[in-house]
Structure 1
Amino acid sequence: NKRKCLIQLREKLEALNYRPPKRIPTKKPYSAKVKILDTKKKQSQKKQFRQKPEIDN
């Protein structure tokens, strides 16, 4: 009984001491950045066309 309790205690302590490995941040590929910027540019262009045109004198 004593041995069983010590084994359980050791298992619980090991579970409490476990720390998951830290996540390594990944970098977005260049093509993904270009694609995001392209969609943002298209969206802003679309919104520009919705506005009234400026009158230049």
Structure 2
Amino acid sequence: MDKGQNTGGLMSSAGLVRYFDSEDDKAIRIDPKTIIVFGLLLGVVIQVLSFIS
């Protein structure tokens, strides 16, 4: 590899940073706490159903 050649380390991630920084007004927004609570409740429901059957 040539020493003067750029390997593109930062340039390869630049598109991802730009993509995730942009927000869409029409996108669904869910609070992270809501996802955690939903996951916990789903786990409890699955455990209860496994004990019943």
TM range, smaller chain? 0.3 to 0.5
TM-score normalised by the chain length of structure 1: 0.44
TM-score normalised by the chain length of structure 2: 0.47
The structure that has the greater radius of gyration is 1
